[in-house]
Structure 1
Amino acid sequence: MATNGSAAVISAQPASYDPEFRTIDLGCDLAHTGRMQLDYAKNFTVDEFEGGVRLVCEANGERFLVVPAGASAPDGLDPDIAVIQQPLDSVYLVSTGMICLIDEIGALDAVTVSSVSAEDSPNADLTAALEDGCTDFGGKYSAPDFELIAERGCTLAIENTKINHAPEVKQKLQDLGVTVLTELSSSEPEVLGRLEWMKLMGVLFGREDEANARFDEIAQRVWAVADQAPTGKTVAFFYINDDGAAVTRRSTDYFAQMIQLAGGDPISFDPDAEAEGSSSIQAVIDLETFYAQAKDADVIIYNTTVDTSVKSIADLTAKNPLFADFRAVQDGEVYACDENMYQAMTDMDAILEDLRCALTGSGESAGFIWKLD
């Protein structure tokens, strides 16, 4: 494990970490045999029971029992526990963040219905599957093609937290016999905590060895990039919303941590969670306040994963004349980012390299962060 440079901002959790949401009472007599050791992820746990059964607990209070092929769920199981029966050979994948993780462990062939089309897919293998007809486009999270999902025999839907805004969709899927698992990786405070959701995908798809090996390989690459001296450069990462306010990330967000790992110092705003438009992840700041704190930033990274309208420095200053006074604008240190950056967890080391290139003005971009003219 790296201990020098920017990598010091990554904190591994102690082996004794035991979150309150972890509840291992199944309501039946199945013997508990062990627990998966997680180093960074804080929003799920996995416990092992006799017969190879796994219990997944999530920070949202939901629990899932993963039952091996050829076995059955035990009698007397608590009714709050949803069953995921292996093997998984027909999955409705809604969470775009999980695409690269599932692909990394070689389980993408189990995805038969996707919420992204071939044209919008952020992953080459999923694009090919959609074009070949191995996977069907099944509509967005809020309006899925229930008939198609039923026809393809999907037994599991992997959603992200957007499904919380469409409870009727979740209920309809469950009425069709589809178990709905909401992944919470976006709420992970640690960069490697997001990546460690690969281990949960390994449990679900019966590819734990592959998930452990690939996680270790990618984490080592992240450590190698991050274990470099800080640059001393300050970074403003944001976009401008329709109301003309700046939307940035909180200091506890994983992207703020990525800037630190690349050797930068993120300019963060942490208003009350109740502030209009803000959340536990993002902060919405009026432009005058943002200007006062960010005008002297060494580097600007405009969040074009959300607002793709900014393709040049002129596009940014057209948003508001105040931007012309920003030091980074005057120095030409303005960057944009790839719209699929948040979904590229397995390329985390390359994203860090691109961030560091922006901070140091050297190196070649891998295409996740690039300079605007």
Structure 2
Amino acid sequence: MVTRVQDRLFLSAPHMGGDELPLVQDVFATNWIAPTGPMVTRFEENLAALTGINHVAALSSGTAALHLALRLSGIKAGDEVWGSTMTFIGGVAPIMYANATPVFLDIEGEQFLLDLDLLEQELEQARTPGGLPKVVITTDLYGHVIDATRMRRLADDYGFVWISDAAEAVGAARDGVHAGKGADFAILSFNGNKIITTSGGGALASDRGDMIEQARFLSTQARDAAPHYEHTTYGYNYRLSNVCAAIGVGQLQVLEKRVEQRRRINDWYREALGDLPGFSFSPEPRGMHANRWLTTVRIAPALAGTDRERIRLGLEAENIESRPLWKPMHLQPVFAEAPRRGGAVAQEAFEQGLCLPSGSAMTHDDVMRVADLVRQLAGH
């Protein structure tokens, strides 16, 4: 079968809502072509309303937001930062910017979230002077949401700063609370493949207004109040542009619809593939409203008679993009020497897990195109 380039089905393509262009045109008409401006302020206010987190700084990326969160947490060289081994490199690299030490913990095997039982066990064992981490980062992977009530209790009991990496969970909630709410800092992302996008961008959110004001200061080169360029510390060029913020304002208007469609796509895949032996989808615990940014499926070779890689390559041969789950950080060459606690659950999830095309512009026919091919490749 020969397919054309324009027929390619992408993993998670940008999906515009229609109001983004007029908002961008307004930016051009008013000549607010700058790193800050009215659209940045509007975007920040809208994000605060969405998440229930009182203060937000719009930034150039989620990675930039994490870097600022770590700096504002007081992380210094040699400090330990604990977090899930299954995450994207952008959720870990800023630890290295600070010359701190990442410590990777295993996940639970259904939602691919940090194993909180393991975390609590390790915290208790580390309860000695200097033994506890200064920061723990949780990652709301694929739009699933960590138990914020338990995490807040652990942070308070053990005295660490909790950073919620909710980059993949915009529009997701648990027990009626948006992802990231309750953490000391929350990280959001609006990269081109996320559920909504500003083409590239992110945000740092916190209920502490002083921290967000400091984030804004640091994100604009830490320029002191003076008629000339005066600096008592160093900063970064991390602020979101007013043009990109206008796109974000438009995208937020359709976020609820995007979440609804991604959840619908997830249901279609379950209906089409859920009966295949060895195939399993992440359940949704009571109280969780995952945004289903990406639909993931686990393929157990012994039961399925096939494996993740055969399915992935078969889809690629038909111009359909799919991707393995995030490769655990403890298996990455760059972190070969990093401390870790467990890792077998994350490793098995990586070996078996596949992300299926999940873009919100997909139709039922698109999903069936993927599902029918998966069934053929699985011998059904």
TM-score bracket, normalised by the shorter chain, equals 0.3 to 0.5
Structure number with the higher strand fraction is 1
The TM-score, its normalising length taken from structure 1, stands at 0.36
Structure number with the higher helix fraction is 2
